[in-house]
Amino acid sequence: MIKVSDFSAKVFKRIRRIPAGHVSTYVLVARAIGHPGAARAVGNALNKNPYAPKIPCHRVVKSNGEVGDYAFGAKKKSKLLQEEGVKITRGKIVNFENILYKF
């Protein structure tokens, strides 16, 4: 078991619940773990996440519906999402509010 901060651990746990074909945002995740406004910290945690292949980090996107960045490349992130049924156009998610997963 890898040692991680409580904050990061909560982030990973939440993200793990996101079903394929759905996405969530950094703000919602932060809010769900009891740290509203910590969107930046969430991204920071995911960037160095020790569970890189284990956690579907690619299902977490920005609040405005853009895909955002990804440790393995934003390109890969969009591709993975589309493979799961998420439609993306020019780096933005289509039907964003429709597939948005609110914890």
Partner DNA sequence: GTGTTGACCACAG
Partner DNA sequence: GCTGTGGCCAACA
Rg (CA), the chain: 13
Residue by residue, DSSP assigns 6-38 as HHHHHHHHHHHTPPTT-BEEHHHHHHHTT-TT-
| Cβ(81)–Cβ(67) below 8 Å | yes
Among positions 8-47, residues that touch DNA (CB under 7 A) are: 8, 25-27, 35, 37-41, 43-47
Beta carbon nearer to DNA, 6 or 98: 6
Catalytic entry in 15, 33, 57, 81: 57
Q: Sketch the per residue contact string, 42 through 81, with DNA: x for CB under 7 A, - otherwise.
A: -xxxxxxx--x----xx-x-xxx---xxxx-----x----
Q: Which are the catalytic amino acids?
A: 57
